[in-house]
Amino acid sequence: MRLLPKHKALGWAPYFWLVYLTFPMSYLFLVTPWTGKHSFQLLGFLCFLVIYFRAHWVEGHRLLLHIGGILTIGMLMFPLNWGASAFFIYAAAFLGEVTHPRRAYVYLAILVLLAALQCWWLEAPIYAWIPAVLISVVVGAPNIHFAEQKRLRQKLIRSQDDVREMAKIAERERIRRDLHDWLGHSLSLIVIKAQLASRLIDAHPDQARCELDEIQFAARNALEEVRDVISGLGGYGLSEECKRTRTVLETARISLEMGPCFAIAEPMIEKVFTLTLREAITNVIRHSRAKSCTISFEETETDYCMNISDNGVGFNVANIGFGLESMMGRAHEMGGELELNGEQGTRICLSVPKRNFRKPGETS
């Protein structure tokens, strides 16, 4: 049977603190002859030890019952044994674990007041006043302070654990979203070229071989993209993505009309446009059944804008999938907007404000 809980960081200190009992115990055995009062005091010591060790297993307001028990033992034994003033010290020592410091200090003041009133009423000698009043304050007040510091440290540790857990969740979400956005385009290209190669392999083996070589190249690029996503690096820039878009749409036999691409100085904003373009083109190839696609870029004094439209079957805006949700989430993270229209074909309009823009008269 354990007297102290395992998780407590006190070690053997609670056993050492029993040294205060030497004062009432010495007084007990110095007074002779042995009477029934001595037996009553021994019973009080046994009850105290039970409450004392039990108090280390509880906390909060439940601990007040144990403190009240120790205080009661001390007040009952004090008229018989001046050394029983040591029990007030134990009661004060536990107050730090009870509640908020302000309330704990109130409890300490009440405890010291009760001890002082009993010492005054019984006309106790000075050596009884010192443990009951002075040492109770000297022990109780620092314990309240240190207990609050321990609670704050534990709260900080829990907060740090929560932050680490949130960081893990955010990183998993980033990898999930980036894998979807980056790899969807490459895998679509691989699928299209594989289908094309299967159709050409009998009639045009040389052209089919070229398509297979491009599949290998696309697969290697996809592998590099996976490595970049996991390491947190970006993928291709917007201009490179425009070139890849033209290639993959030509392979899918979808005509493309694309205006000149603008240069974006802010890498994070460029990543939003790059991934939005990639996801949109992936959806065009996979789901739209479109024959043509139009992409235009517009740069104003305050914003970057990109419009993507096709003449396909469109979609229900109320039932957007993870890819479109990811596109909208990235736009909102940059303070931008993503407008979707799926009534007559699909139309996507992305607008993101420039980070270095200042309104006239605005200072940084």
Residue linked to tokens 């993505």: 241
> Of 162, 185, 203, which marks where a domain is finished?
162
Q: Residue 33, preceding bond cis, omega within 30 degrees? A: yes
Say how many domains are in the chain. Answer: 2
C-alpha dihedral (185, 189, 191, 196), degrees to nearest 10: 160
Residue 303 falls within a domain, yes or no? yes
Same domain for 283 and 155, yes or no, is: no
- Please name the amino acid found at residue 112: V
Q: Which residues pair with 257 in a beta bridge?
A: 294
Of 162, 189, 216, the residue at which a domain comes to its end is 162
Domain membership flag for residue 249: no
State which residues form the domain around 271: 256-357
- The three-state secondary structure class of 362 is coil
Per-residue confidence in pLDDT tens, the chain, 364 aa? 678 877 666 778 888 888 888 888 887 777 667 777 888 888 988 999 999 888 888 877 788 889 989 999 989 988 988 888 889 999 998 888 887 888 888 888 999 999 899 999 988 888 888 888 888 898 888 888 888 888 888 888 888 777 777 777 766 776 666 666 666 666 766 777 787 778 778 777 777 777 777 777 767 766 766 666 666 555 568 888 898 888 888 878 889 999 998 888 888 888 889 888 888 888 888 788 889 999 999 998 889 999 999 998 888 766 666 677 778 888 888 889 999 888 888 999 999 998 754 444 444 4
Q: Does residue 96 lie in a domain region?
A: yes
d(Cα 337, Cα 189) in Å, to the nearest integer? 28
Q: Of 120, 146, 162, which one is at a domain's C-terminal end?
A: 162
> What distance in Å separates the CA atoms of residue 9 and residue 13, rounded to the nearest whole number?
9
- Give the Cα-Cα-Cα angle 181, 339, 355 (nearest 5 degrees): 75
C-alpha span between 320 and 277 (Å, rounded): 16
Q: Is the whole-model pTM more than 0.75?
A: no
Are 157 and 260 in the same domain?
no
Report yes or no on 57 lying in a domain: yes
